[in-house]
Structure 1
Amino acid sequence: MQIEFKKIPTTGIHFETSLGEIRFFGEALKTSKTMVKCTGTMEGTLLHVCDRCAESFKLMVNEDVEVFACEGLYEDQEGEGLLNIIEFFDGSIDVDSMLQSEIEAFKSDYHYCGQCEQLKGE
């Protein structure tokens, strides 16, 4: 799904896309001439490998997401807090690649299958 930067109003626009069994939906809101704030929810199931026993299991995903899309190269301002920013260079936001990036960030955390979750404190 592609959304053109110039078509995103300051009042926001709804977006929704999916990848496999993960659905990503929310609002895109223009915060400046080149910056769009995307807030939404990522939910569904994801096949994942347990970080303890290496068995495959279905991981439940229900995460709030806040990511900024920048048209062109982003230059941070002095004293500005760290932001989750993805740069786009073709005049539009690729919501599918944004979802893929957020899935990879989610998977980079430690996740345990049901059996190993019970053993976590041992």
Structure 2
Amino acid sequence: MKILLRKIHENRNPFSIRKEGLLCSGEFWRSGKHAVTVDGTVEGDIGLMCDRCGEAFSKHISEPFHVEVVDRPLKVDESLDVIECPDGIVDFDMICESEIASIQSEYHLCPQCEGTNDFEMEF
């Protein structure tokens, strides 16, 4: 789903997108002359890799997210939860894919490794 940033108004609008078997849903609204705020949640069963043993496993998640989409260049000192869209198009599919990739890149342990402390630590 893509919407021109200039067409988004101050009232809150719902969105719901299915990506990779997950439901990405929430609300978006105009939060400034050049900004749109997107609040949402990624829910469902996600496929992950255990960072300890390397086995694939599935985990149910419900992760909230908050991003701002702007149609102007960012300054270095601004928040990391900002997405630039220089073409003025807010791409909700890309936002959801980005949030899913962010969750998958975090450190995850499978149920077998989660309860064990049997590993080496370097000092």
Question: Is 2:88 aligned against 1:118?
Answer: no
Moved over 6 A (4+): none
Counterpart of 2:29 in 1: which secondary structure?
strand
Distance 1:27 1:121 in 2: 43
Cα separation, partners in 2 of 1:26 and 1:121, compared to 1, 3 Å? farther
Please show how residues 1-122 of structure 1 align to structure 2 within 5 Å.
Answer: 1-75=1-75, 82-120=79-117
Identity rate of aligned residues, in percent?
33
Distance 2:108 2:73 in 1: 34
Superposition deviation, residue 121 in structure 1: 8.1
- C-alpha contact (below 8 Å) 1:15/1:27 kept by paired residues: yes
Counterpart of 2:115 in 1: which secondary structure?
helix
- What is the TM-score normalised by the length of structure 2? 0.86
The answer for unaligned runs of 5 or more in structure 1 is none
- What is the TM-score normalised by the length of structure 1? 0.87
- C-alpha contact (below 8 Å) 1:2/1:95 kept by paired residues: yes
Distance 2:104 2:95 in 1: 14
The answer for unaligned runs of 5 or more in structure 2 is none
Q: Give 2:113's aligned amino acid.
A: C
Counterpart of 1:46 in 2: which secondary structure?
strand
Q: Which is higher, the Rg of structure 1 or of structure 2?
A: 2
